[in-house]
């Protein structure tokens, strides 16, 4: 019965969530700006191209620029700009410090609005708003942002029909997450099965356990890190991969998934020079920990 319930949760999801067609994505100017950003050859120039398109009203440019800025994936040279120039380059007009371009794009698009909700975090969004954003992003195939929303709900916790853990159990195996929800389901299973935690819900535990057993396959979530390590640390790629993965605290998706799947799918993102550059930015706070585990892996972050 419980296994059948788990299977129904999985089969109720679309076999392959489809990203929406973003207005403005077909613009040759946007394609050029996106490719320039992916190349990593001149970040300031690429940001300038995206900013000009965003200011001209291109929703795709607004979403990508807003997500890049929200994730902190801008070069150090941006911080060195005078304040007014920095705001003009990275944010929409409005207020003393400008407005996120995600908010602007979200005024006319539910997916962009959901991206903005996840980027704002619980400081500006309620758990219910985060849960609603998660569903919108899953339906749209927005892997990275949906994963961030799921992690947020996991950290909130809570049992019962509206509880965050119940929502994690229902969504963790969704195909749009590309397998990244499974470690969270495993963590929830371990939490619910350990008497020392004081958290108990036998029905939810049974559903999570059955869901994990029903998943047809499990992707190698460390594969993008392994590809970098194979190229950069060919003598010992396994140790390099393990060091990088461990430094994420098990949340590999935070450093491997595209900021906006519908504009740059994660496979394209991971195969681009942009991925290695962003990995250095995202993992800079963990550089010492990586270095203690594997010197070559640390060299990839410099």
Asked whether the beta carbons of 34 and 264 are under 8 A apart, the reply is yes
pLDDT in tens, 11-31: 344 434 444 568 999 999 999
Q: Is residue 185 part of a domain?
A: yes
The whole-angstrom separation of Cα 289 and Cα 99 is: 35
Continuous H helices in 141-201 = 143-156, 164-171, 182-193
Asked whether residue 52 falls in the same domain as residue 140, the answer is: no
pLDDT at 302: 87
The whole-angstrom separation of Cα 58 and Cα 56 is: 6
Q: Is residue 273 part of a domain?
A: yes
pLDDT at 17: 43
pLDDT at 123: 86
Asked whether the beta carbons of 94 and 101 are under 8 A apart, the reply is no
User: How many domains, in total, are found in the chain?
Assistant: 3
Asked whether the beta carbons of 115 and 106 are under 8 A apart, the reply is yes
Q: Is residue 231 part of a domain?
A: yes
The whole-angstrom separation of Cα 201 and Cα 72 is: 38
Kindly state the tokens that stand for 170.
């229902």
Asked whether residue 113 falls in the same domain as residue 102, the answer is: no
pLDDT at 99: 94
For residue 261, the tally of other CB atoms under 10 A from its CB is 25
Asked whether residue 179 falls in the same domain as residue 117, the answer is: yes
For 215, how many CA atoms within 13 A lie in the half-sphere containing its CB?
Answer: 24
- Looking up tokens 């911080």, which residue turns up? 79
Asked whether residue 59 falls in the same domain as residue 86, the answer is: yes
10-residue averages of pLDDT along the chain (302 residues): 38 42 92 97 97 97 97 92 95 90 92 95 91 96 97 95 94 95 95 94 95 84 96 95 94 96 97 96 92 95 89
* DSSP category for residue 99: B
For 210, how many CA atoms within 13 A lie in the half-sphere containing its CB?
Answer: 17
Asked whether residue 210 falls in the same domain as residue 250, the answer is: no
Which residue segment(s) compose the domain that 243 sits in? 223-299
Asked whether residue 99 falls in the same domain as residue 133, the answer is: no
Query: Model pTM?
Result: 0.90
């Amino acid at each position: 019965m419980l296994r059948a319930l788990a299977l129904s949760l999985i089969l109720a999801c679309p076999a392959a969530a489809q990203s929406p067609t973003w207005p403005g994505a077909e613009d040759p100017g946007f394609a050029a700006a996106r490719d320039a950003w992916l190349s990593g050859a001149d970040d300031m120039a690429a940001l300038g191209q995206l900013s000009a398109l965003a200011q001209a009203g291109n929703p795709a440019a607004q979403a990508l620029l807003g997500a890049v800025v929200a994730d902190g994936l801008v070069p150090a040279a941006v911080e060195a700009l005078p304040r007014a120039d920095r705001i003009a380059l990275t944010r929409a007009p409005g207020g003393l410090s400008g407005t996120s371009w995600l908010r602007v794009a979200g005024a006319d698009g539910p997916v962009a609005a959901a991206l903005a909700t996840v980027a704002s975090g619980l400081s500006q969004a309620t758990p219910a708003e985060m849960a609603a954003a998660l569903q919108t992003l899953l339906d749209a195939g927005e892997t990275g942002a949906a994963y961030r929303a799921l992690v947020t709900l996991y950290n909130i916790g809570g049992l019962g029909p509206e509880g965050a853990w119940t929502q994690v159990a229902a969504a963790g195996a969704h195909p749009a997450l590309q397998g990244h929800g499974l470690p969270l389901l495993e963590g929830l299973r371990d939490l619910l099965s350990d008497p020392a935690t004081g958290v108990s819900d036998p029905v939810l535990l049974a559903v999570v356990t059955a869901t994990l057993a029903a998943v047809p396959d499990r992707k190698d979530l460390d594969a993008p890190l392994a590809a970098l390590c194979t190229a950069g640390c060919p003598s010992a790629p396994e140790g390099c991969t393990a060091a990088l993965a461990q430094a994420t605290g098990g949340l590999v998706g935070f450093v491997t998934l595209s900021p906006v799947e519908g504009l740059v799918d994660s496979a394209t993102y991971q195969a681009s020079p942009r991925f290695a550059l962003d990995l250095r930015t995202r993992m800079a706070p963990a550089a010492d920990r990586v270095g203690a585990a594997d010197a070559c892996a640390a060299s990839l972050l410099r």
